[in-house]
Structure formats: C-alpha cells, structure tokens
Structure 1
Amino acid sequence: MEAVVSGVSGSRRTAPVRGRPRDTDRDVAILDATRKLLVELGYEQLSIESVAAEAGVGKPTVYRRHSGKPALVAAAVEHRAASVPPALRTADLRKALLRTVEWLAGEIAEQEIGLLGALFAGMRGDPDLAAEMRRILRRDEAAMTERPFGGVPEDQLAPGAAALFAELAPALIVHRLVFTGAPCDRGFVEHLVDDILLPLLQRPTTARR
C-alpha cells in the first residue's frame, strides 16, 4: 500500500505505509469486553487475560493498545457516545437548572449501576485507576461548566456557580442512583434544584421564583 505525500516544491512522491492498519473491530471488542467483565467480575478480578479471552484476541493485542488494566478500563469508560447538554435559551435560572439536571440524570442513569459500583470499588484500591477516572471527570466537568445555565445573566449567578454545579449535581445524582437505589424522578429533580442548587447558585440578592 502506498500513500501520496506532497513535497515542498509542489511535486508529489509516494511513500510506503509501514505496519499493518489497526483493526478497529478488535478495538471495540476489547472495550466492550472490558465493560462487560467489569460488571460481572468487578475491577479486582478483572484481568487482561480475561478481557482478551472475552474479546477473542490474544493478550499482546490488548497490550499493544493499552499499557495496563487502569488504562484499559479508562478507555472502556471513555468509549461511549459523546453527550451534549441541552441547548438552553431561557433566562430563568430555575428552568435552566431543571432541564440541565433532568438531562444529566438521564445520562448517568443510562450507565450500568454495576459498572459504576465496580469503578468506585476499583478507585479505592488502585491509585492509577483513580488518577485515570479523575482525568475523565475533569474533562467532563470542563465541558459541563462551559455554559450550564444557557442565557441566564451572569449577575444572577453566584461566583463560581458553574464549577459548583458541576461538582454537586453529578455527585448527588450518583448517590441517589447507586447508593440509595432510588430513581431520579421529577420529584427528586425538583428537590435537588429548589432546595439545594438554587439557594447555592443564585446571588443572594436575586429574587426567588
């Protein structure tokens, strides 16, 4: 196989492509197998050998893609469709929070509870996994804090409101789903917004609804 490479003078030359192209089907199979076994076995019992067997590949195939178990698990967590917060056009902080929290609760609820539990347990015992998951969390928080309140004027928001929202809302939703086993229904969403988030995120001088 050859690739066409443009030279500085505008002439064209061909250069061979070295190595075999990566098999993306194997990539997906490895990551799917990792998530499946995390739920079934837990992080502690998960191994590169078990993932390779489940994916139908050899151990070297896994190691060529991932340096070890923490990196493999982090890649499996990241291998999901990118989620986009709802477009908010309202200037009403309560309405913006309700829509954003409903969306966030739906996104988190779609994750397998067993997977979340396995990750939490693994983070307690493996500092490398904890570091990988915190990296992912920081990335997700950065995306979430870009414009979480839509068209709400800045003068209605307390200082650092976006960062505080990104820290509190996911934690409370995960606690509800994983530790209490209760659904994030409309009543919970309204409680989270009205009793916890609004008092913290709006400026004290802003009139309440």
Structure 2
Amino acid sequence: MTGSPDPGPARGRPRDAARDLAILDATLKLLVEVGYDQLSIESVATEAGVGKPTIYRRYPGKAALVAAAVDRRAASVPPATSNSDLRHALLQTAGWLAQQIAEQEIGLLGALFTGMRSDPDLATEMRRILRRDEAVMTEQPFGDAPNEHLTPGAAELFAEIVPALIVHRLVVAGEPADHSFVEHIVDDILLPLIRR
C-alpha cells in the first residue's frame, strides 16, 4: 500500500495543567510553612498529590521549582502611565509596587530571602526574575519622560530604592505603605535624586 508512513505512537502524555498548578501552589504553601531549607521535592509531591518524577520532569531541582512558583504568583503588569507627567507616572508605578509587595505573605518573603542567602541557584533564579520585573516596571515611567533632565541610571535608582523602602516600611516598621508614604518616597527621596 502506498501513502504516508505511520508516525507510530505518540510519545508520552501531554502535560496536565492542573498538575502544574497543584505543584506550584503546594510549593508556595510549604515554602511559607517550613521555609526554603526544609522544603523538599518529596514534600511538594506529597502535598500536590503527584509523584516525585512528575516534578522532576518539569523542574531540575528545588531552586527552579521555587522560582517557577514565585514567577507564576508575581505575574502582574504595572499600570499604564502618562508620558506627560513624570511625578504622576512614578506615583502610579510606586503605588502599584507597594500594593504588589503588601499582598505577598511576610513568611514567603522571609523564606525567599533566607533561601537566596543559602542557595546560590535560588539566588541566581530570583535575581533573573527581579531584573526582568524591574525592566518591565521602569520601562514606561522612564522611557516616556523625554522632556525630563534625569541623572544617568534614574531607572536603576528607582528599582533599587523604591522596593527597599516599601519592604522596610511593611516588614520592619510594620506600617502600611499607603498613598502618603508613596508620595513621600517619590517627592522627598526619588525625584530629588533623579532630576538634574
């Protein structure tokens, strides 16, 4: 008989999106409960109701798994900003960032910071995610400010200063990062530093 050759049986099963979500959710839950150092692939598999090989087919190790879970949770886009008013754009972006950080569980942040200090692979993964997010976060307010005379590295200053002040306010001081605090960051700290 003629015709196209039989391609043979399909290899493997398609990935189950429900399993993916269960694995990532279990990772975040256990990360908060036991911390990064005590987190294991085995405990995540048990919590997610899957076998360890299911996780290892998706992620080469704990650092990659945790980074994927954090990346999925943090998949949020900064607000569109006006290109005519730098102050307003910075207030919008800093306010959005304050809300994003405030919505994170303190235990999750602590586990990630601790894990980054003890595991170079996690630190590398998290810094990759943070650099990408910083670029997205600063693209609009600084890319759309052509009439402003800004110091070199203004976007990098924003990315370095604003998240640190918000985390300090929420975690160390235990105070809300409300609109007046965001105005204080932008008006009293950021703009004097970045405008020539």
TM-score by length of 1: 0.84
Provide closer, same or farther for how the CA distance between residues 167 and 154 of structure 1 changes in structure 2, counting only shifts above 3 A.
Answer: farther
Structure number having the greater helix percentage: 2
Contact kept, 8 Å, 1:89 with 1:150, in 2: the verdict is no
In the other structure, the counterpart of 2:190 is 197
Deviations 1:39-92 (Å, cap 9, x if unpaired)? Answer: 111111111111111001111111111111111111110113632222222522
Distance 1:119 1:146 in 2: 26
Distance 2:126 2:144 in 1: 31
Aligned equivalent of 2:180, options 171, 179, 187: 187
Which structure ranks higher in relative contact order (CA pairs < 8 Å, sequence separation ≥ 6)? 2
Contact kept, 8 Å, 1:117 with 1:178, in 2: the verdict is no
Could you tell which deviates more after superposition, 66-75 or 86-95?
Answer: 86-95
Identity %: 73
Count of residue pairs brought into register by the alignment: 193
Tell me by how many angstroms 1:120 deviates.
0.4
Aligned equivalent of 1:55, options 36, 48, 59: 48
In the other structure, the counterpart of 1:125 is 118
In the other structure, the counterpart of 1:73 is 66
1:1-209 matches, cutoff 5 A = 15=7, 17-80=10-73, 82-149=75-142, 151-203=144-196
Distance 2:95 2:157 in 1: 17
Structure 1 unaligned segments of length 5 or more: list them. Answer: 1-11, 204-209
Contact kept, 8 Å, 1:29 with 1:55, in 2: the verdict is yes
TM-score by length of 2: 0.90
Distance 2:16 2:77 in 1: 28
Could you tell which deviates more after superposition, 70-79 or 167-176?
Answer: 167-176
